[in-house]
Structure 1
Amino acid sequence: MQKQWGDFIGGVAMQGKLVSTHQLGFSGKQISADLATTEGIHLSDGKTMSGNMVLKATSLDEAVIMAKKCPILFMGGSVEVRDTIPMNQ
């Protein structure tokens, strides 16, 4: 799968649409509203987010078209496409 990932990320980058990408690790801690800390990462239905990619798209639909080529889909995984909201400094 390494070649498929390289082709996918490289293709997005060659279009000038890649901002950043990171693979997430498998260790972490969760902090709740009462400031309690627990070991481990969030799992939902036995699944966890394993990475993220920030890209430039003219619309959410354009981002969905790009995401449909993500190799994780061919491994039985899923992809969530979301917009971002810039933080004012």
Structure 2
Amino acid sequence: MHQQWGAFIGNIAIQEKLVSTHQLGFEGKQIFADKSVVEGIHITGNQALGGNMIVKANSMDEAVGMAKNCPILFMGGMVEVRAIQPM
């Protein structure tokens, strides 16, 4: 899968649309509103967020088109596309 990931990310970078990408670790802590802390990451339905990628896209449809080539889809995974909201 390393070649597929390299080609996927490289293609977006060549188009000058890649802003950043990060693979997330599988260790962490969750902090709740009552300030309690629990060891481990949030997993829902046996799924956990594995990473993120920020791209430059002119529309949501363009970003979805890029995401359709993500190697995680060929492994049975899922990709979620969201807009970034400035803070």
**Structure 2 counterpart of 1:34, which letter?**
D
Q: Where has structure 1 moved over 2 Å in runs of 4 or more?
A: none
1:68 corresponds to? 68
1:40 corresponds to? 40
Alignment TM-score, normalising by the size of structure 1? 0.96
Structure 2 residue runs of 5 or longer lacking an equivalent are none
Structure 1 residue runs of 5 or longer lacking an equivalent are none
Cα RMSD of the aligned pairs, angstroms, is: 0.4
2 CA distance for matches of 1:55 and 1:48?
Answer: 21
Q: Secondary structure at the match of 2:54?
A: strand
Number of aligned residue pairs: 87
1:56 corresponds to? 56
Please list the CA deviations of residues 31-63 of structure 1 after superposition, one character each: whole Å capped at 9, or x if unmatched.
001111000000010110001000000111100
Alignment TM-score, normalising by the size of structure 2? 0.99
**Structure 1 counterpart of 2:16, which letter?**
G
Query: Kindly, what percent of the aligned residue pairs are identical?
Result: 64
